[in-house]
A and B are shown apart, each in its own frame.
Chain A
Amino acid sequence: MSKAMSMDFLRPMTWAEALAAKAADPEARPILGGTDVMVELNFDRSRPSALLDLTAIPELAEWELRDGVVRLGAGVPYSRIITELGDLLPGLAIASRTVGSPQIRNRATVGGNLGSASPAGDAHPALLAAGAEVEVESVRGVRIIAVDEFFLGPKRSALQPGELIRAIGIPVTGGPQQFSKIGTRNAMVIAVCSFGIALHPAQRRVGTGIGSAAPTPLRAHAAEEFLGAELDWDGPLDRAVANRFGELVAAAASPIDDVRGTAAYRRHALSVLARRTLTWSWEEYRCV
């Protein structure tokens, strides 16, 4: 085969080496679980100069809890989030359970989900609702990007040349969190649309995240503000408030018709998911 067709395979053993390698070849393609990268390569949709395998770097596969924030290494697979972080990050854990199949969850990571920045990535609504921050780094230094500023367009993120995702900082709110997604089969499906919600009782605030219903994952700001103003944190949930919340979430989306569903259905389903997840969260909040 000619040189033009070959691809280097780099496997740094330390984070510093990884940053150096990425600096030396900004086109080198990071790979963690490979569940997006390998699909792209197999379909011949992209042809990077090199693959930069980050799976040998121990700290990427670890998480720690410090000052009320979980610092989740970019390479922690969904299966471990489900088993180890269900209590601290309930929203992300529920979202993780909906990803792919057991095989995919054993390999696929939140770092990879962010790296792909697909509007349909299932981690994103949970991260948006929780108010997460993405910790990115290059040889130039570290940047912290609020997750709602991370997504710039379909499959485009705020990562700059040479930057790698090191970790995701996710505040532990102590409040109930939920995630729901719509798929046309009962497992192993890309979201037709999805919704994440997190109650922040200390701040008397509700965080939201919408997936697969706009060019990027996004927060439903007006819906959050509405709840901020209307929720009675000491009483039961008013049905009218829940319904209005659903409508505002639907209004925040700008979905399209595609093979997975229609724009009208997506809006409708989002309003239902928003109402239901708020109701479940509220029931849980009132019980504790």
Chain B
Amino acid sequence: MTDIQVTSPVRDGVGASAPRPDGTLKVTGEFAYASDLWMDGMLHGATLRSPHPRARILSVDLTGALKLPGVEAVLTHEDVPGAKLYGVDHADQPVLAIDQVRYQGEPIAVVAADHPETARRACALIRVVYEVLEPLTDPRRAALDPSYEKVHAGGNVVRHQPIRVGSVFEADVVVTGEYEVGMQDQAFLGPESGLAVPAEDGGVDLYVATQWLHVDQDQIAPCLGLPPEKVRLTLAGVGGAFGAREDLSMQIHACLLALHTGKPVRIVYGREESFFGHVHRHPALMRYEHGATRDGRLVYVKGEIILDGGAYASSTPAVVGNAASLGVGPYSVPNISLDAYGVYTNNPPCGAMRGFGAVQACFGYESQLDRLAEACGLDPVEVRIRNAISEGSRIATGQIVDMPAPLTSMLEQVRDLPLPEGVSTDLRDLPGGVANSTHGEGIVRGVGYGIGIKNICYSEGFDDFSTARVRLEVIGEEAAVLVHTAAAEVGQGLVTLKAQIARTELGVPNVTIAPADTQVGSAGSSSASRQSYVTGGAVKTACEAVRERLLELAAKKLSHDGLALSGGKIVSVSGIVVASVAEVLGDDVIEETREYRHRATAPMDQLTGQGDAHTQFAFCVHRAVVDVDVELGLVKVVELAAVQDVGKILNPIALEGQIHGGTAQGLGLALMEEIQVAGGLIRNPSFTDYLIPTILDMPPMRLEILENPDPHAPYGLRGAGEPPTLSSTPAIVAAVRAATGKSLMRIPVRPEHITGT
């Protein structure tokens, strides 16, 4: 560029805290969620679910339900016209149960009626005769005991992924531990909802809250016996997702009912039903053995990670891949023998949740590093620094980290942040909070650290891409941009970011984001912290293509060479404004569609786990400071400090929100969030007893955000949503251990684990 500054940079471009278009609406309660969808004459769907985790279905009698006035359809698996099974990864899950049920809450029949109440009553009138069977609920036996009964005919192991590196499994210092992670729920706002509208062409239009429109379409169409183009999806208002909307819930059911009745059908789950209607985070049983030199340098890691996938495969295979490949954490380990298993049981199905297999492992390996520090008489930060990977290191899969990985300086930075003041006298700042259980008695402070490594984008050879269509034209004498993708805004702020990218790339302030739907190519999932990278990359690439055509048009219309686009103006080589974008465009419309792929990844070797399976690594470090009432076992997290490298800050305020939110979700897993399952039955399917952190539980945060660009990624960015969820959990548990001296091998930590009663 020249030094003559004739144009000003566009407002609210990349790097600005551009406001969210949905922000005010959500805060004032005016945002239309999927459950607010409405059409005159629509019917309401309800789902009959199994009360048993394992049973044979001997008979289903629909008579009572069909007789109820207002009921228009009662459907079972016999009414599914196409494929009877679906699944994100393996098609192993029946649309509606066929002769047996494998988890509590499995859908058996669906009803459409003129009122939601009528539909629910009709469900209650369906008579199902079960032969109840003993549920298979032991994930360790499912993984390792061939004599254990089978949940599916093919066997109980969904995936076993070993990692084998080196052959030295002896060391001077050896620490072992067995760890357990309870079942966390995504607990998103806005339970599963959607509206299916039958179309004149025999197809169906589905408006739904989901994470990936095209993968829904790919699963729904075969079950309906329709070609994909006859199943059109549009994203409806999503409250949050965190992985729980990666699997289908009510989608096929609503479409079936709509096609059957010829009327629009809406299905809205309540909160309790939602606990049964989506997958959860895999609970994990983990055994680790770390061998090291006396000065705390790792020699080897042996590990076993058993992830309970519950009744259906969902994304268990990919979760196992992450747990295995990231199972020793961001450390250089010369010898590794680790086995990760994902298994079927009759427990609730588990699948994607923020952190995806890396969260469970992180609790295990970070707990182990603290044990190692203790065994070697080292500071916990020091032991991590001695073993941390850096740019050029290899991770467990042999893959070289070919991007900045400044873990040492991140650890030093978090350690050197000032510590918070002493114990407060305000009840709200004490363990127990307003419950008034201590006025200072029994309180001991503890500090702990955690660091995690998360792969960003889809891994293991997956063809991971996104599509963006960008249109530039003059509307009302001004240049205007329309960005169209199928990417799901699930609260993460992608809608804002896409507009920021278009503004930056085209210099046009006026950007509209079209609703996400299947009329444009797939954007991939809003998961794996990948949308800024992949859909951001697609929007950027499509904008570049539009810009190129604009400049060609300018060259032609203005008969001028060497033109450039700057600050939304067409400028000459010397930086002089030659024309506005609108002047160049006139009546012309420029529209370009581009697919963007990140660099290819490779599968992991089935026997050794070796392979360049990941696109990008992201890191976050936490320091947790807690006050524990050691007599009552209650915890107040006083402060959480985090250092995260994001490559490039695209939207500061949205980014901080991601780090705060991820950290809070990690706090929840450390201290309170658990779906308690006994004998395959969920004991707490409501927010009365499934506790998520409140504002009195989540402390203020200190954030240090680093921008070491990844040369492979658009703008050098790194996915940011998941990493904080990994490291906050072990940091908090380490702090509680430091305060109490208890080993605390299971999360969430409960008061009785601390008091020993």
Contacts and interface: CB of A to CB of B under 8 A. Distances in A.
Given A184-B672, A261-B751, A5 B270 contact: no
Contact of A1 (B115, B435, B442, B684): B115
A272 B120 contact: no
Contacts of A187: 433-435, 694-697
Contacts of B272: 43
Contacts of B695: 187
Which of A182, A183, A185, A191: most chain B CB closer than 10 A?
A185
Interface stretch (A152-160, A198-206, A263-271): A263-271
B434 A98 contact: yes
Interface string B662-699: 00000000011000100000011010110101111100
B697 A272 contact: no
Contacts of B636: 186
Contacts of B105: none
Contacts of A182: 432, 435, 437, 632, 634, 751
Nearest to A257: B752
Contacts of A280: 439
B117 interface: yes
Contacts of B438: 276
A80 interface: no
A188 B693 CA distance: 10
A181 B435 contact: yes
Nearest to A2: B69
B437 A259 contact: no
Contact of B751 (A43, A184, A190): A184
Interface string B737-753: 00000000000001110
A44 interface: yes
Nearest to A265: B752
A184 B691 contact: yes
Contacts of B697: 185-187
A272 B672 contact: no
Given A182-B437, A186-B433, A1 B751 contact: no
A189 interface: yes
Contacts of A245: none
B689 A97 contact: no
Contacts of B59: none
Given A185-B697, A269-B632, A97 B672 contact: no
Given A42-B270, A192-B751, A268-B755, A186 B434 contact: yes
A181 B751 CA distance: 13
Contacts of A63: none
Contact of A262 (B120, B437, B632, B752): B752
Interface in B714-757: 750-752, 755, 757
B750 A184 contact: yes
Contact of B694 (A5, A186, A267): A186
Contacts of A1: 70, 115, 117-118
Which of B442, B755, B757: most chain A CB closer than 10 A?
B757
A47 B587 CA distance: 64
Given A189-B691, A269-B632, A183 B432 contact: yes
B421 interface: no
A189 B439 CA distance: 19
B431 interface: yes
A44 B683 CA distance: 18
A188 B117 contact: no
B757 A262 contact: yes
B436 interface: yes
Interface in B111-125: 115, 117-118, 120-121
A94 interface: yes
Contact of A186 (B118, B683, B696, B757): B696
B437 A264 contact: no
Interface in A88-130: 94, 97-98, 101
A185 B694 contact: yes
B748 to A, nearest CB: 8
Contacts of A192: 751
Interface in A250-288: 259-262, 264-265, 267-269, 272-273, 276, 280
A150 interface: no
Contacts of A259: 676, 683-684, 689
B436 A180 contact: yes
B441 interface: yes
B431 A186 contact: yes
A187 B442 CA distance: 20
A245 B433 CA distance: 24
Nearest to A183: B435
B633 interface: yes
B435 A5 contact: no
B704 interface: no
A5 B70 CA distance: 12
Nearest to B439: A280
A268 B757 CA distance: 7
Interface string A1-12: 110010000000
B382 interface: no
Contact of B437 (A2, A97, A181, A265): A181
B750 A185 contact: no
Nearest to B124: A44
A185 B434 contact: no
B205 interface: no
B432 A97 contact: no
B118 A97 contact: no
A281 to B, nearest CB: 12
Contacts of B751: 182, 184, 192, 261, 265, 269
A185 B437 contact: no
A11 to B, nearest CB: 22
A178 interface: yes
A152 B684 CA distance: 26
A265 B435 contact: no
A151 interface: no
A87 to B, nearest CB: 17
Interface string B605-634: 000000000000000000000000001111
Contacts of A180: 432, 435-437
A282 to B, nearest CB: 13
Contact of A272 (B115, B631, B693): B631
Contacts of A268: 755, 757
Given A1-B117, A184-B672, A186-B431, A94 B436 contact: yes
A184 B752 CA distance: 10
Nearest to A44: B120
B53 to A, nearest CB: 17
Given A178-B436, A181-B437, A184-B750, A190 B632 contact: no
Nearest to B749: A184
B691 A264 contact: no
A48 to B, nearest CB: 15
A262 B270 CA distance: 29
B622 to A, nearest CB: 19
A181 B435 CA distance: 5
Contacts of B442: 272
A186 B668 CA distance: 12
Contacts of B439: 276, 280
Contact of B441 (A2, A264, A276): A276
Nearest to B438: A276
Interface of B: 69-70, 115, 117-118, 120-121, 270, 272, 428, 431-439, 441-442, 631-634, 636, 671-672, 676, 683-684, 686, 688-689, 691, 693-697, 750-752, 755, 757
12 contacts: A1-B70, A5-B117, A101-B694, A178-B436, A180-B436, A180-B437, A182-B435, A182-B437, A184-B691, A184-B750, A186-B696, A273-B437
Given A186-B431, A187-B694, 19 more contacts: A1-B118, A180-B437, A181-B435, A182-B435, A182-B751, A183-B432, A184-B750, A184-B751, A185-B691, A186-B428, A186-B432, A186-B636, A192-B751, A259-B676, A259-B689, A261-B751, A265-B751, A267-B757, A276-B441
Closest 6 pairs (CB-CB, A-B): A186-B433, A265-B752, A268-B757, A186-B696, A187-B696, A181-B435
